[in-house]
């Protein structure tokens, strides 16, 4: 549970940076680029920390034998790499939301909703795609445990994001 709290705190930090980016006054020229680069760097560092903490939480909960771990971790790493791509798209969506927040048009809102729903579908489809791959290297109960842990971590992150991102005006 302690590690879940660590992951939650890392997610909180990510949200604060994203919220700060959304509320930051528009800078001019090179100041805007420098500021955006700093924010992007901070976001990427926090996301890397979050991925590391997530892996530690999974390891602490799975309690695999050495033989199981040898088969599991390459599958997990490939899965994590795909989830990172979804995280990239999610981060881009949040940034676009922040950039259009003060003067969002109906067309922008429609696009954001469409992208958000597509990301939700992609995440569900990805879990369905990966379940049999995990099942090949784990028992049924271990596969269920992995997806429980993975889903709970993602729900904590989603909850934190939802609490930090303001509703549409």
47 vs 123, which has greater pLDDT? Answer: 123
Q: Single out the residue of 70, 79, 71 nearest to residue 51, CA to CA.
A: 79
Distance between CA atoms of residues 64 and 4, nearest Å: 19
| pLDDT tens, position by position, 71-115 | 999 999 999 999 999 999 999 999 999 999 999 999 999 999 999
Q: Which helix (H) or strand (E) holds 166?
A: none
| pLDDT tens, position by position, 107-160 | 999 999 999 999 999 999 999 999 999 999 999 999 999 999 999 999 999 999
Query: How is the chain split into domains, by residue range?
Result: 2-164
Cβ–Cβ contacts within 10 Å for residue 58, how many?
20
**pTM for this prediction:** 0.78
74 vs 30, which has greater pLDDT? Answer: 74
pLDDT given at position 111: 97
């Amino acid at each position: 549970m302690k590690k879940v709290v660590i992951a939650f705190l890392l997610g909180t930090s990510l949200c604060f940076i994203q919220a700060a980016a959304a509320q930051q006054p528009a800078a001019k020229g090179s100041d805007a680029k420098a500021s955006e680069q700093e924010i992007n760097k901070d976001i990427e560092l926090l996301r890397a920390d979050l991925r590391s903490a997530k892996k530690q939480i999974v390891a602490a909960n799975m309690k695999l034998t050495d033989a199981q771990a040898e088969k599991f971790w390459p599958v997990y790493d490939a899965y994590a790499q795909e989830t990172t791509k979804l995280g990239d798209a999610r981060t881009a969506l949040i940034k676009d939301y922040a950039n259009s927040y003060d003067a969002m048009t109906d067309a922008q809102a429609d696009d954001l909703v469409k992208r958000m729903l597509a990301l939700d579908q992609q995440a569900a489809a990805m879990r369905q795609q990966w379940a049999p791959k995990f099942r090949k290297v784990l028992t049924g109960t271990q596969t269920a445990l992995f997806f429980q842990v993975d889903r709970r971590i993602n729900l904590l992150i989603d909850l934190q994001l939802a609490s930090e991102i303001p509703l549409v005006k």
